Amino acid sequence: MTSYVLFLVLSAAVLHAVWNFISKKANGKVPFIWLMYIASTVIYSPILIYQSSDLRFTEPLVWFSVSSAILHIAYFLTLQTGYRKADLSVVYPTARGSGPLLSSIGAIFILKEAFSYHIGLGLFLILAGVLVITGFQFSNDDNKLKAGILWGTLTGLLIALYTLNDAIAIKSYHLSPMQLTFSSNAISILLLLPFVIGKASNIKRDLREHKWSILGIALLSPAAYILVLQALELAPLSVIAPARETSILIGVFMGSSALNERDGKKRIVASILILAGIVSLSLN
């Protein structure tokens, strides 16, 4: 992994952690997500127009945009459900930890990317750090904790699926990351339309109470993902997917400082493990 690729991935991690924190605070549902997609499409339209001379409208773009839209909608709905039922410090690390494991397995077995000792060690250390953050409390009777782990894992599965889907689009069909993201967002607006019809009051309330959260997520979420897709053009998915999970450290820190969450010592240990995993991946 080159220093430029690492810069792209770490920048994406910061943006991702920030928009997830905003999302947790907003506690939005379908109308909120629909408005976010509209805002995102409007915000990124000028960039797409600027790059219009380099864009290609092909059949693979249509199919991958549709599949990406479906997977991302499912991801947002699952993530928001998790945030409503459990803590950020449980859902977020669980989701971001299970995602790279499944993504890397898919990349190795489906995309035939090479597996090395450094990748294996990096994955192990990152996931060990995630386990430390969650406190190894999988047998606890705390229903809130169980809900966080369950919804976090489901979110991680969807992360793996949309990452693999979009990686194939970028690496095998050479689709533009910007065009794929924009098309996926635009299609998501249409797919969610039947679910917001008749909910004008909810839409107005979200616009009134969460307009800045909607704009923040609409700007930061695609930006973070576009950076990841650009990195995928330069490095294997089995390296990119785990490295982007440094966002766990940022997200947990934000949750701890803003939401007064405890277990600071565990998070320090987890940080060391995850950073060691990143170093191992960078040596690949």
User: Where do we find the tokens 């995102």?
Assistant: 40
Does pLDDT of 174 surpass 60? yes
Are 155 and 75 within 8 A, CB to CB?
yes
Q: Tell me how far apart the alpha carbons of residues 163 and 103 are, in angstroms, rounded to a whole number.
A: 7
The residue that leads in pLDDT, 68 or 273, is: 68
| pLDDT tier for residue 111 given thresholds of 50, 70 and 90 | confident
User: Please, which pLDDT band fits residue 100 given cuts at 50, 70 and 90?
Assistant: low
114-154 pLDDT per residue, tens: 788 877 887 888 778 777 866 665 555 567 777 887 898 89
CB burial readout 89-102, b (16+ within 10 A) else e: bbbbbbbbbbbbbb
pLDDT value of position 142: 67
User: Residue 20: CB partners within 8 Å, gap ≥ 6?
Assistant: 79, 88, 92, 247, 251
Rounded CA-CA distance 202/204 in Å is 5
Instruction: Return mean pLDDT, the chain.
Output: 84
pLDDT at 1: 67
Using alpha carbons only, what angle is made at residue 128 by residues 231 and 122, rounded to the nearest 5 degrees? Answer: 40
* Token pair belonging to 32: 């909120």
pLDDT at 74: 97
Neighbours of 268 (CB within 10 A): 11
* Reported confidence tier of residue 177, pLDDT bands at 50, 70, 90: confident
Domain boundaries, the chain: 3-115+138-246
Q: Which amino acid is at 224?
A: A
Place of tokens 């905003």: 22
Q: Determine the pLDDT at residue 33.
A: 96
Give the mean pLDDT of 22-41. 93
Percent of the chain with pLDDT over 90: 36
Q: What does the pLDDT read at residue 265? A: 66
Mean pLDDT within 181-191: 94
Residue 267 has pLDDT above 90, yes or no: no
pLDDT tens, residue by residue, 202-242: 999 999 999 999 999 999 998 998 898 888 888 887 677 66
Judge contact between 34 and 196, C-beta under 8 A: yes
Tokens read off for 273: 């493990």
pLDDT for res 281: 67
Distance CA 101, CA 50 (A): 36
pTM, 2 dp: 0.82
> CA-to-CA distance for 109 and 183, rounded, in angstroms?
28
Q: Give residue for tokens 């690729």.
A: 5
Residue 14: which H helix or E strand, with range? helix 3-26
Distance CA 166, CA 103 (A): 11
- Region 68-94: what's the mean pLDDT? 91
